[in-house]
Amino acid sequence: MEEMFLPLQLESKIDDLSFELYDPTSDSVVEKKLSDYQDKWIVFVFYPADFTFVCPTELKDLGKVQEKIKAQNGELFVVSTDTVFSHKRRVETEKLLEGF
């Protein structure tokens, strides 16, 4: 019998992944690892791609709760399949994402 994939659950342990992210506060591309956020809650929000019909108002609403997440010892990651350069361009051109 083939093994079934079990989805991640709250407090699941995952491998120490490394990734690049675009940090709009410093306007730079930063390399990070999940272990950089050890002992923090990590919230991942996935969306299909930059410059699609995904409404930027939903992403902007995440910005409203981002400080609350940080106040609870958490970090918010908004994830898509795009490059960091695409993320940078989207932040630069989408007025609703200013300050996010």
Tokens encoding 42: 């990590």
List the domain range (segments joined by +) for residue 47: 18-97
Cα–Cα distance for residue pair 21/72, rounded to 1 Å: 22
Q: Within a domain: residue 5?
A: no
The predicted pLDDT at position 4 comes to: 60
55 catalytic? Reply is: yes
Confidence of residue 46 (pLDDT cuts 50, 70, 90): confident
Q: Within a domain: residue 10?
A: no
Q: Within a domain: residue 83?
A: yes
**Is 70 exceeded by the pLDDT of residue 45?**
yes
Q: Within a domain: residue 68?
A: yes
Q: Within a domain: residue 82?
A: yes
Task: Tell me the CATH number at 62.
Answer: 3.40.30.10
Contact 50, 57 (CB under 8 A): no
Average pLDDT over every residue of 2-14: 70
Cα–Cα distance for residue pair 9/12, rounded to 1 Å: 5
Higher pLDDT, 55 or 95: 95
Residues in CB range of 65: below 8 A, 6 or more apart: 76
Q: What is the pLDDT of residues 70-83, one digit of tens each?
A: 999 999 888 888 88
> Which residue among the candidates 49, 54, 55, 65 is catalytic per the annotation?
55
Contact 97, 64 (CB under 8 A): no
**How many structural domains are present in the chain?**
1
